[in-house]
Amino acid sequence: MNEPTAGGLSLRTALAMLVFTLVFTAFMAGGYLLTRDPIARSAKAEKLLLIDQILPRSGYDNALLDDVISLPPTPELGLDQGGQVWRARRAGQPAALVMEAVAPDGYAGRVELIVAVAADGQVLGARVTQHRETPGLGDYIDPRKDKNKAHPWISQFERPARDLPPAAWTVKKDGGAFDYNTGATISARAVTRAVGRVAAYAAAHRDALFQ
């Protein structure tokens, strides 16, 4: 029996690796195709549940997550890489905007937010979507971490606020209109001022955002 040559062994190895690669790639592609849509639906549902906390579905009748525009880098909102705006409509008319924003000056850095603003300029609510604030101290800006479950700190923004002057969009320690937790002012100040900037931006660009 002839002994296999080095070239023959190399060819067999290469063919085996090729077959393995093709089978593995097909397996991975199949898995991706099977899970892609469920993952996308899950992410969409999770995002909508978050928006529900600041904009009730009774306030609009369009497919909110499909009525979205992308903002370019927008320094006014802290969006160095741009962001998204979801547009709520009722009977075809503007109802509210849900806008991404970033407070760059949290105690531990960036605090990412979504803010709902009614078409008439009233801030409807805000939620923190990502932060690194100190556990047990500054993380009360996130209602999931706030010990006051009945009236979490961030629920202050769920009130008529369209007529507040710019100077009022900060904490009371700085002469503003919003409460804060003693010993943890920086986080609250950063979020409050960011929400104020969103309110101002929405008022200034309302028509363009809804077009």
Q: What DSSP string describes 17-53? A: HHHHHHHHHHHHHHHHHHHHHHHHHHHHHHHHHHHHT
Domain limits, the chain: 1-52, 57-210
pLDDT reading at 198 higher than 70: yes
Q: Identify which has the larger pLDDT, 162 or 201.
A: 201
pLDDT in tens, 47-89: 889 999 999 999 999 999 999 999 999 999 999 999 999 999 9
DSSP label at residue 120: T
- What the block records as the tokens of 153 is 């700190």
The pTM of the full predicted model, rounded to 2 decimals, is 0.79
Mean pLDDT (whole number) for 99-124: 95
pLDDT reading at 113 higher than 90: yes
Residues 130, 83, 54, 120, CA torsion sign = positive
pLDDT in tens, 173-190: 999 999 999 989 999 999
Rounded CA separation 119/97 (Å) = 7
